[in-house]
Structure 1
Amino acid sequence: MATVMLDGNRMDISTGTTLGDLLPDHDPSLSIAIIKPGISSHTETRQYLLKTTAGEIVVEISGEEKLPLPSLPSGLEVRWQERQTVSIGIFPAIFAPARRPSRYERGDLILGCGGYDPAQSMLVFSRKTHSADHGAAGDGGVLGQVVSGRGVMDRLGPGDKILGIEPVISFSESVDAFTTTDMGFEVSDGMQIISHVRIEAQGYDSAIQRYTNLAAKSVELMLLALRSGKFTGSQRMSTHIRCDTLAGTSVPYEAGSSRREGSVMLRTSGKKQGSVYIYTEDLPRSLAHTRTGQVVHGIEIAKIAKEGDSFEVRVTPAKFDLVGVSLDKAIPFASSQGVKLIPDREEPDRIIISQEPATTLDVLYEGRVEVKTVPGSQVIDIILDDLHAPETCRIFREITGLKFHDVGRLPLFFAFDDVYLFETKVPKTINIKPENTPEDEVTAGAFAMTNESRKGAGMVGVRTNDNSEFGPTSEPFSGTNVLGRVVDLEKLSALKEGDMVYFREVHQ
């Protein structure tokens, strides 16, 4: 007999036992972490902590180390600053200035010099993407990138100085650690197996089973991003792994704190606003991140997972969202959560279209929720085709509200023959590029949006009969993006122009 640790629990196994034997219900598309036994040690990373009078900055050296940062003298001062850069020096270095401009990205740390004299070298932080001649070497002189403290970099000004530079030390193990989705993988003695990450949301105290709602809005967005129970590594860095499921979504700054190992954060500004970060190393606080939770089990997966890996996440509390749920099912569910449900009407066949409070933490904190409902005849079930029309489906969810709940809404604009058209308000800045256009025929129930090749771009429609000439919005096939299909075709005939129609997304 051999022994393994499965999610922290000791298990005796026999020869030939596989992951599938240990985890028969595990989704085989999600990665599992395997850690073989090894010897613990401490190692230096390729990151350096710069302590300045304005705060702390962490930089990660890329490629060959061109300058031993810890050897620089303390007390180096800001020499000049402008909108694009801030420069700190002066110190001697050895390199040949190229005397030509290079292109730099925001966050680049550059070795440059004044007067093309390496004896007058400086560290140059790039605050914005730009092209310039900073007296750097021919390769541009980029030493690395700022991975934490970009806000500090932006605040550096006259009188600020570097107080010290030290390498970041990390705990490591000399082990064979990896992730796998192979459920036929044979486990062996001494292995640790971690199947999932468990997160406690900010505002939930598991020790006393109490809630606070101080970070209710940002936590709700984290719950939305992870409601599928899946975290997909869109980016893997030495300090964190990032999931971009909700990238581009506005997030309020509600709970600032240091980014300790296991901290779960949502980005509040920048291109990746709305992305979820799990930190695997300690970093200082950032005004661009708000804390939404803490990993309480399975941080090893976040540390080991590769870019592109997906792994299971379980968040406590689960998202409390009754929108799209029938009233007869919502009442016992709310009761099981200790929440008093107050409906606008108590009648059979009612579907919930909104709830107040809207966020999970507010509902659980208050212990009550009021809901608005409509007859089931006004709620039309649809299936969206993310595989073939991902961008069109994304736009549709944005304009209807399906991005945040399982029910969205659009008014019925016009109905004639077998065509039903729904009015939309797509911002002019959004381009609806041709995607999943039909070739020979659209079938009854096809649900589509007119693309940018036609004047009526953004119009949404459905056909109740097959058609080999025009799409669901009565446009030629070239102007039609099929985004899914309507399940409840029989409900359309009862609709009148001007009616608000509720679409409920169902998943196959």
Structure 2
Amino acid sequence: MVKVFVNNKEKEGKFLKDVIEGEPYIEGSNIVIVKGVKRELIKSKKYRIVTTKGVMIVGITEDSKVVDFWNKNYKKFVNKGVRWRGVFDVAFGPITIDLDMSNKAEKFKKWDVILSISGFDKSEGHLVFIKRDTTEVYGIENPKIGILIGGKRVLSQLTPEDRILSIEPLRESKEMIDYLTTKDLDMELEEGWKIWTYCEGQLDGPPETVEHVLALVEDGYFEIGESTNTYIADCRLQSLEIGGESTEDRFRGAITVRNSGEGVGKVYIYREGRTSSVFHTVVGRITRGIELVDFSDEGIITVKLKPERLNVVGKTQSEAGEVFRRYGIEHKREGDTEDNAIIVEQKPEFTLEVLRSKKVVTKGLSPDKLLYIEIFDNEAPRTAWYFRKTTGLTTKRIGKLKVYFKVGDMVMFERNERYARKLLPENTPLDRVERGYIGVTNMVKRYTGYIGIRLSPNDKYGPTGETFEGSNIVGRVVQNIEILKKVKVGDEIYLFEVRNGASKS
């Protein structure tokens, strides 16, 4: 038996499976083992600038041609004086900066440090310290090299008589960690190993964006779909539009949601700090087990985020009551109030709003009034994703469709034009559509995105009334199809997704 530390707790055992027993861990997720740590000197990312008024420390935050120039030429600023001192910035120089020039205005934040070319004359190069947030042309594209992290008071005291006396990189060392990432629970242990089975985090951001993250990790894991030196990202909800904006820097351990642009809907955890971005909303931070983020480049990691998700749609009224009682939240039942009624709507909808208001109303529906469905993710992945986004089944346990029209044995539901544009043909019928199958009109036809269900088989037309080449089969009704016989235009139908075709009684 050897002694190891598991999630910072001392344990004894022979094999990995012995010591992780009782710890938060999802089967098949990554486990990180830190065997040891040593230190080595590294190329500095901090510079000590001594002026006639005192010392300033600049931290290099960027990776660019401008930074490469600085690293090779910083000594040229020694003995250079204050060239100007304005409301927004202070500049030392000049030196010659042989970089591509730009007339593009860019945004800079207080304490940013940049290189500039004045008057588009490369011999008029300067080292500039930003004193207030500003948008300005500094003659170089992406001119930022870092931020002022020490000596901010010195910056405010500089006058045209001051100059730089010396610039030196600070000696820094880096921890070199001997680690491994494994799923092998039969691994034999060695004395002193530090083992991490999960990471823990705290969420506190815009309620809708926090709910997006809680829905993503509701099953207890973060799936690494993208990995860089700076972050890991879970892409399962990519393209799901989400609001929110944050001016907070993306610090190490930050949890963010991409709120617009390419990759909207992705959730990130940062290994290294980055400046704020209008495209990212910071919603929380990892408070424990960052080692799993540092050393996992693929697979899944077990996560426990606080608070617990308090959206109870899909649970019974009785189950929801037990959840809310734990938090001292006043729970009012509406609709079908029986214990076994399934909750189809909740107000307020988002966890943080529930915790703040301490009150919640849940609308129940009898199980025999729900349409139980199976979705064909493997056979029609693009259409399945469209169907989930349209019904709300991406982040909720119960989906909803509004009846568009009903004719004969076919019920049609409203589409989501925003998401329907790229519905290529997939899983189209060959010679027959069976009763209860769910179809979506693809882009071969004019009315792309409409959803339909047939109440009887048909060997010519799909569930939306289109010929087979225009019909993507996305799923099927597995229980309670009879409720569709009574629906009218404008009615809303609630959907309960069933895995592997199992019925719900």
Structure 1 SS opposite 2:61: strand
Q: Deviations over 1:406-444 (max 9, x none)?
A: 222222334455533223242387221122333455444
Query: Which residue among 485, 494, 499 is the counterpart of 1:502?
Result: 494
User: Is 110-119 or 21-30 further displaced after alignment?
Assistant: 110-119
Indicate conservation of the 8 Å contact 1:384/1:483, yes or no: yes
Structure 1 SS opposite 2:36: coil
Post-superposition shift, 1:41? 4.9
* Mapped partners of 1:242, 1:262: distance in 2: 12
User: Is 165-174 or 470-479 further displaced after alignment?
Assistant: 165-174
Q: Deviations over 1:135-188 (max 9, x none)?
A: 9xxxxxx99998999xxxxxxxxxxxxx99997998743232232334444433
Indicate conservation of the 8 Å contact 1:201/1:315, yes or no: yes
Q: Deviations over 1:470-499 (max 9, x none)?
A: 432233332122222222244345432322
1:380-459 pair list within 5 angstroms = 380-416=371-407, 418-427=409-418, 430-439=421-430, 441-459=432-450
Structure 2 SS opposite 1:408: strand
Indicate conservation of the 8 Å contact 1:49/1:57, yes or no: no
* Mapped partners of 2:260, 2:83: distance in 1: 29
Larger CA Rg, structure 1 vs 2: 2
* Mapped partners of 1:473, 1:225: distance in 2: 31
Amino acid at match of 2:203: A
Post-superposition shift, 1:19? 4.6
* Mapped partners of 1:441, 1:169: distance in 2: 73
- Give the match for residue 488 of structure 1: 479
- Give the match for residue 322 of structure 1: 312
**Count of aligned pairs:** 450
1:320–1:391 Cα change, 3 Å: same
Structure 2 SS opposite 1:324: coil
Where does structure 1 lack aligned partners over 5 or more consecutive residues?
79-87, 124-133, 136-141, 150-162, 203-213
- Give the match for residue 478 of structure 1: 469
1:238-249 pair list within 5 angstroms = 238-248=229-239, 249=241
Post-superposition shift, 1:372? 2.5
Percent identity between the two aligned chains: 25
- Give the match for residue 199 of structure 2: 197
1:428–1:6 Cα change, 3 Å: closer
- Give the match for residue 343 of structure 2: 352
1:250–1:72 Cα change, 3 Å: farther
Structure 2 SS opposite 1:394: helix
Indicate conservation of the 8 Å contact 2:462/2:468, yes or no: yes
1:20–1:430 Cα change, 3 Å: farther
Indicate conservation of the 8 Å contact 1:60/1:147, yes or no: no
* Mapped partners of 2:170, 2:218: distance in 1: 34
* Mapped partners of 1:147, 1:233: distance in 2: 29
* Mapped partners of 1:178, 1:146: distance in 2: 34
1:236–1:60 Cα change, 3 Å: farther
Post-superposition shift, 1:352? 2.1
Structure 2 SS opposite 1:482: strand
Post-superposition shift, 1:39? 1.8
* Mapped partners of 2:170, 2:396: distance in 1: 42
- Give the match for residue 269 of structure 2: 278
Query: Which residue among 356, 364, 369 is the counterpart of 1:378?
Result: 369
Indicate conservation of the 8 Å contact 2:414/2:450, yes or no: yes
* Mapped partners of 2:382, 2:171: distance in 1: 42
Amino acid at match of 1:178: L
User: Over aligned residues, Cα RMSD in angstroms?
Assistant: 4.7
Structure 1 SS opposite 2:32: strand
Amino acid at match of 1:8: N
1:158-237 pair list within 5 angstroms = 172-202=174-204, 215-237=206-228
Where does structure 2 lack aligned partners over 5 or more consecutive residues?
50-57, 85-91, 109-113, 128-138, 149-163, 501-505
1:266–1:184 Cα change, 3 Å: same
* Mapped partners of 1:446, 1:357: distance in 2: 34
- Give the match for residue 206 of structure 1: none
Query: Which residue among 240, 246, 253 is the counterpart of 1:262?
Result: 253
Query: Which residue among 68, 71, 74 is the counterpart of 2:71?
Result: 68
Amino acid at match of 1:481: N
1:435–1:276 Cα change, 3 Å: same
1:360–1:56 Cα change, 3 Å: farther
Post-superposition shift, 1:319? 0.9
1:333–1:478 Cα change, 3 Å: same
Amino acid at match of 2:421: I
1:371–1:243 Cα change, 3 Å: same
